[in-house]
Amino acid sequence: MDEVFKALADASRRRLLDSLNARNGQSLRELCSGLDMTRQSVSKHLVLLEAAGLVTTVRRGREKLHHLNAAPINAIADRWISRYDRERVRALADLKSALERSPMDSNAFVYTTYIRTTPEQLWQALTDPAFTTRYWGVAFESDWKAGSAMVWEEGGNKVADPDQVVLVSEPGRRLSYTWHTFTSEWAAAAGVGSDVFAKVAVERRSKVTFDLEQVGEMVKLTVVHDDLEPGSTVREMVGEGWPALLSSLKTLLETGAPLPEPTH
């Protein structure tokens, strides 16, 4: 956490974060062209921001694209916000929201967190219904082979579709699949209103990718949810849902118990 505050203390690094907040998913070349900073300076600052977890990178061909990462801000929120009235720390909550919000030019949701576990245990937590139901409330039926079908079960409702499939399956390294099908039964079980359901039902199918990388005693987990339409309602929903879900996954693997359900 000290690294996060140190990274945010520098005005040049805050300018880089502002640039990514205005247009996420930029390459080093794009970041340099938009700021009055040398390539060497930008590279140096990006290394510190990535080390602090405020920036995460995703490869696209030969390019490395830089995205804002909300995980460190969530960690700050988990540590302190619950101790005080949320209205008195709205500035911190606003910063968290800004880092999670998708800019106009990049709809992909990208999130990186570090979990004290092994790649094998994390893979099991992402695929085994006994785990997923504990922190997600969703059970999957699949053999987890590329091209295989996936059946989602949530709230007693099963959703299957020919296009609801596993895309990439490399145990302990990478998992990718298409997002679930939006049905009226799903909407009713999930408490989604008819107006929201009408919007998401006509959007194209998106996909989610999990990249797992061993880093010492931790596993670096990067989640990319993309193939989303501009102005996507699904993007807005997953942008709110993924941080809480991944925090619960991390807590489950590190403590043996998921985060408690929020009280209203």
Q: Name which of 26-40, 85-99, 168-182, 206-220 the model is least confident about.
A: 85-99
User: CB under 8 Å to 235, separation ≥6 — which residues?
Assistant: 102, 107, 109, 225, 228, 229
Query: What is the greatest pairwise CA distance in the chain?
Result: 56
Q: What is the pLDDT of residues 211-243, one digit of tens each?
A: 999 988 999 999 999 999 888 999 989 988 999
Residue 231's region, left for phi above 0, alpha for psi from -120 to 50, else beta, is left
Helices (H), 64-151: 71-80, 90-100, 119-127, 129-135
Asked whether residue 77 carries a pLDDT value surpassing 60, the answer given is yes
Location of each CATH 1.10.10.10 domain in the chain: 2-105
Residues of the chain with CATH 3.30.530.20: 111-255
Look at residue 106 in the predicted model and tell me its pLDDT: 62
Q: Rounded to the nearest 5 degrees, what angle is found at the Cα of 55, between the Cα atoms of 84 and 247?
A: 45
Rounded to the nearest 10 degrees, the angle between the axes of helix 90-100 and helix 71-80 is 160
* CATH dotted code for 111-255: 3.30.530.20
Chain centroid to CA 79: how far? 20
Nearest to 176 by CA among 127, 104, 136, 230: 127
Report the amino acid identity of residue 103.
P
For 208, the token pair is 């989610």
Q: Model-level pTM?
A: 0.67
Q: pLDDT tens for residues 6-33? A: 888 888 888 888 888 778 888 888 888 8
Handedness of CA 179, 184, 185, 191 (dihedral sign): positive
Instruction: Give kind and range of the element (H or E) at residue 188.
Output: helix 184-190
d(CA 40, CA 61) in angstroms, rounded, equals 22
Closest among 167, 172, 131 to 150, alpha carbons compared: 167
The CATH architecture annotation of domain 2-105 reads: Orthogonal Bundle (1.10)
